[in-house]
Amino acid sequence: MRHIAGLLTLRAEGRYGLAEINQRQHALQAAWLAEQAGCDDALVAASLLHDIGHLVHDLGADPAAEGVDDRHEERGDAFLRAWFGPEVTEPVRLHVAAKRYLVATEADYAARLAPDSVLSLALQGGPMSEAEAAAFIAAPGAREAVRLRRFDEQAKVKDLATPPVGHFLPAVARCLRPLAS
């Protein structure tokens, strides 16, 4: 738990893609949106931690600008599995696929994407096919990942006041697997 809190407080100062916020602000905004929407602890925790994969690699601050998909959803999932069950890790693992799903299934979703999300979408495989979309939404955790994805896209507001990391840590702690603290 201290390791996760440390990443969010000490390592999340880097700019978040092309937005005028940093990684911590993005994480806090996503978690705040989930909390305000009345989501359970698992989705609040997943929203806070969904981009932790960006903080656990050494590919630089913006690999997408270099044409590299850092596969942060997979890195984040692998990192978080040590502490959390699928109720937290699956939305994290699937939040990129959720973007691909939403682009494929909602006519106006792509037009609402931030420029950095458009760039990363191309690196992440583009819109899903009809068959991929059907398989995705039937998968465990997919609906939660879609909710998380919507928070993710909204969580890019410069100077938005949110609670600090410590505010969300009790929800995160309630999601820890036994013996994972």
Using CA atoms, how far apart are residues 52 and 6, in angstroms rounded to an integer?
11
Q: 63 pLDDT exceeds 70?
A: no
Average pLDDT over every residue of 47-68: 69
Sign of the dihedral defined by the CA atoms of residues 171, 140, 143, 155, in that order: positive
pLDDT at residue 59 in the model: 47
Q: Assess whether pLDDT exceeds 80 at residue 125.
A: yes
Q: Domain residue spans in the chain?
A: 2-175
Do the Cβ atoms of 48 and 102 come closer than 8 Å? Answer: no
Helix (H, G, I), strand (E, B) or coil at 39: coil
Neighbours of 161 (CB within 10 A): 8
In which band, very low, low, confident or very high, does the pLDDT at 76 lie, cut at 50, 70 and 90?
Answer: confident
What is the CATH T-level fold of the domain 2-175, as seen in this structure? Hypothetical protein af1432 (1.10.3210)
Beta bridge partners of 15: 22
Residue 172 makes CB contacts below 8 A (sequence gap 6+) with 1, 4, 41, 44, 45, 48, 49
pLDDT at 117: 81
Residue 22, SS3 per DSSP: strand
